[in-house]
Amino acid sequence: MTLFLQQLMNGVMLGSIYSLVAIGLTLIFGILFVPHFALGHKAMLAAYFTFFLVTLLGMNYWLATGVSMVLLAGIGVLVWRLIFYPIRNAPHINGFISAFGALMFLESLALILWGATFRQIPISYGDQVIKILGVSITVQRALVVGVAVAIMIALHFFLKKTLLGSAIRAVAQNREGALLVGIKVNRVSSITMALGSALAALAGSLIGPISLVYPTMAHSTILKAFVVIILGGMGSVGGAILGGFLLGITESLGGGYISSDYKDLFAFAVLVIVLTIRPTGIFGRAL
């Protein structure tokens, strides 16, 4: 039983990181119709920012995470204005290629600026372990899950209860309709980009102390996040959350009980099964 709970907890922790990046992806896809491949690399950039803020300026880790989120939100707007805005009326493939370009640019930039050396974000509570019902979890891991869930709830209320949130949903549902009722679509787009980037920044900063910080740290996360949004339904925030946890737990239980050789296989098998039954994803609507 302890073993099962431990693997379940491992999966929840994995799932919360997948979900965070996936929410960002799905929000941006909903508004811009761009599969934003570079989002994982924004998480990487944020992890570097947090690392330098903590080590060079001696800033508190959580404050540094907040600052990174703000910085990345700014970079998100910049990326939107410089890359996606000029091609907003071009065929979708242009956005697709541009997103790839942004990914390569960010990765190479990190490599040039900071080199390939691995870095570690120091945290004051270090490797303290909490034990509940025989399950071991470090403080940072518990916080990752806690913060991720809190942010998801906050995001839910933001999207459902605020005017801006409604505007974002309106643009995602019907761009022309939103324009007709006077919603400033470009403003909503840039805000969505900022929001998505900030969520990715949070994911990067949260995983930083657990993993290490290096230019390619986001490769597997971004791939999984794409699986998650396809699984959950493109453009659906609820789907991204559910898909993230589903994927994390499947990987963890499959890897733990069947074979770790096929850990990634389980993730993709779930994707195939879900798409066979519901081609639009769990919460997706027909495009």
Partner 1 sequence: MRKFFIVIIGLFLLAGFTLPAQAAKEVKFGVITQLSGGMALYGTNVWRGAQIGVEEINAMGGATVAGEKYLLNPIVFDDEAKPDKALAGGKRISSMHKVPLIYTPASLSGFPLLGINEKEGFIVMCTSQSPPFTEKGNKLAIRHINSVSRTMKPWIQFCLKTFENRNLKVANAGVMIVNTELGRYWANEFMKEWQAVGRNVVEKVSYSTEETDYYTQLTALLAKKPELIVLTTVAEASARVIKQARQLGYTGIFLNSVAGDPRQLNSLVPPQQLEGTFVEVGRWDYREEAAMAFIKKYQAKHSGEDPQFSAALAYEGVCLFAKALEIAGNTTDPYKIRAAFPKAYPLPNSIFLIRDLDEKGDVLMPVFLVEFKGGKILPVKD
Interaction site with partner 1 (CB under 8 A): 3, 6-7, 10-11, 13-14, 107-108, 111, 115-118, 120, 126-127, 129, 136, 138, 207, 210-212, 214-217, 219-220, 251-252, 255-257, 260-261, 263
Instruction: List C-alpha distances in Å: 203 to 69, 96, 275.
Output: 10, 23, 27
- The encoded tokens of residue 272 equal 């195939």
C-alpha torsion 180→185→187→193, nearest 10 = 160
Nearer to partner 1, 209 or 239 (CB): 209
Strands 129-132 and 135-138: antiparallel
By three-state DSSP, how is residue 57 classified? Answer: coil
Listed residue (15, 159, 33) closest to 99, CA to CA: 33
Nearer to partner 1, 5 or 63 (CB): 5
Radius of gyration of the chain (CA): 19
Q: In the complex, what is the shortest distance from the CB of residue 97 to partner 1, in angstroms, rounded to a whole number?
A: 19
Instruction: List C-alpha distances in Å: 171 to 86, 161, 178, 183, 192.
Output: 19, 16, 5, 8, 10
Distance between CA atoms of residues 160 and 253, nearest Å: 34
Nearer to partner 1, 60 or 216 (CB): 216
Q: In the complex, what is the shortest distance from the CB of residue 243 to partner 1, in angstroms, rounded to a whole number?
A: 18
Q: In the complex, what is the shortest distance from the CB of residue 124 to partner 1, in angstroms, rounded to a whole number?
A: 14
Q: In the complex, what is the shortest distance from the CB of residue 260 to partner 1, in angstroms, rounded to a whole number?
A: 4
Nearer to partner 1, 137 or 178 (CB): 137
Nearer to partner 1, 176 or 261 (CB): 261
Q: In the complex, what is the shortest distance from the CB of residue 57 to partner 1, in angstroms, rounded to a whole number?
A: 21
